[in-house]
Amino acid sequence: MKLQSFIRRCVGGLGLVALSTSVSAQEVTLKVHHFWPGTAMAPTQVIGPWCAKVETESKGKMKCQILHAMSGGGTPPQLVDRVKDGVDDVVVTLPGYTAGRFPMVEVFELPFMTNSAEVGAQAAWDYLQKHATKEFPGTKVLAIWIHDEGYVHTANKQIKSLDDFKGLKMRAPTRQTNKLLAKLGATPVGMPVSSVADSLSKGTIDGYVLPWEVIPAFKLHEMTKFHTETHPSRPALYSAVFIMGMNQAKYNSLPADLKAVIDRNSGAQLSRQIGKIWDESQAAGRKLAEARGNVRLVLSPEETDRWLAASASIKDEWVAEIDKRGMPGKTLLQDATGSLAKYRQK
């Protein structure tokens, strides 16, 4: 009897261990990686709140380990591969940091497309579902959006007209923005935003294009004196595309209840929400620059139109490139612009 009792206790103990293992197997920590400092708008208003919501809705079964400023290793351009390969579970990055690799979504990085990040996010999500998910194998895109209006910022020379770009080395984030700066007369220098401050201090660049949102996070308003904005009656000079992407295999490995949490916190609504946050971010950056005595100039509609005309051929070049890749470039551009127009009317 004593032996049988011992065996029963052992079996019961093993059952408790198995139950404990089953419960712990449901607990997931997502490694979330991005390139901003932890105090920047994206981690404080987008990534952090998303992680908190996921943890709350999963009742603590799913949590995030947020890795700020590339602290998990690698460089910003490598994030798209890190999430595809499962090195990171979730990333927030710009596909355009890897030049030419994501030509389909580049349509939203063409010059003078829209001046609303919220509108751009909605259009980009629709376009992604219809045309471009194949550009992200191994990655489940949770959200896609563009930033608020991109402007020109310079250290020592105010850009007042198209002619002022001549002789300046200007940072650009993406391939299409490099083309834009070349059309405007500058020498483009491609690099992620995390490299801008160092490049300015070394004189590698004379200025950069960026939206207001990110400038305070890298203290770039302390390194540039002049800021030039295109006229608000015209679409933005440029935009860059962002994605929040999750490793597809990681998503597939989740139990149904945790997949449902991810599904509720991704997609069209999340994209639109993030776009709206970017739209609302301009004032803070402007305020800090102006408080330092920096000079902000808004171009006239006529001068803005000169910039628009100088860069207009970039859209034709994108269409021709997409056609060479065996896809209908003109139709895709029309689809993107049509979707932007649809959401502008809402």
Q: What share of the chain is helix, strand, coil (3-state, %, to 5)?
A: 55, 15, 30
**Residue 346 pLDDT:** 81
Tell me the whole-structure pTM to 2 decimals: 0.92
Look up residue 127 and give its amino acid.
Y
CA 38 – CA 66 distance, rounded (Å): 9
CA 320 – CA 33 distance, rounded (Å): 35
**Residue 198 pLDDT:** 98
CA atoms within 13 A on the CB side of 121: 29
**To 10 degrees, the CA torsion angle through 105, 111, 116, 117?**
40
Exposed, middle or buried: residue 289 (CB in 10 Å: 0-12, 13-18, 19+)? buried
**Residue 76 pLDDT:** 98
CATH code that applies to domain 151-238+283-344: 3.40.190.170
CA 86 – CA 98 distance, rounded (Å): 18
Give the distance from CA 279 to its chain's centroid: 13
Tokens of 23: 């419960």
Sign of CA dihedral 203, 195, 218, 161: positive
Tokens of 8: 């029963």
Tokens of 313: 């051929």
In sequence order, which ranges of the chain are alpha helices (DSSP H)?
2-25, 41, 48-57, 79-84, 117-127, 175-184, 196-202, 248-253, 256-264, 268-279, 282-291, 301-311, 313-324, 329-344
Asked if 150 and 209 count as a contact pair (C-beta separation under 8 A), the reply is: yes
Asked if 103 and 321 count as a contact pair (C-beta separation under 8 A), the reply is: yes
* All residues at 6 or more sequence positions from 94 whose CB lies less than 8 Å from its CB, including other chains: 76, 173, 174, 192, 240, 241, 242, 243
Per-residue pLDDT of the chain (346 residues; tens, 9 = 90+): 444 554 455 445 544 444 333 434 569 999 999 999 999 999 999 999 999 999 999 999 999 999 999 999 999 999 999 999 999 999 999 999 999 999 999 999 999 999 999 999 999 999 999 999 999 999 999 999 999 999 999 999 999 999 999 999 999 999 999 999 999 999 999 999 999 999 999 999 999 999 999 999 999 999 999 999 999 999 999 999 999 999 999 999 999 999 999 999 999 999 999 999 999 999 999 999 999 999 999 999 999 999 999 999 999 999 999 999 999 999 999 999 999 999 999 8
Sign of CA dihedral 298, 299, 300, 304: negative
Look up residue 267 and give its amino acid.
G
Provide the residue ranges of all domains of the chain, joining segments of one domain with +. 29-95+116-146+241-279, 151-238+283-344
Query: What single DSSP character describes residue 122?
Result: H
**Residue 1 pLDDT:** 44
Asked if 177 and 109 count as a contact pair (C-beta separation under 8 A), the reply is: yes
Q: At what angle do helices 117-127 and 268-279 cross, to 10 degrees?
A: 160
- For domain 29-95+116-146+241-279, say whether CATH 3.40.190.170 is its number: yes
CA nearest 150: which of 37, 36, 240, 281? 240
Asked if 72 and 31 count as a contact pair (C-beta separation under 8 A), the reply is: yes
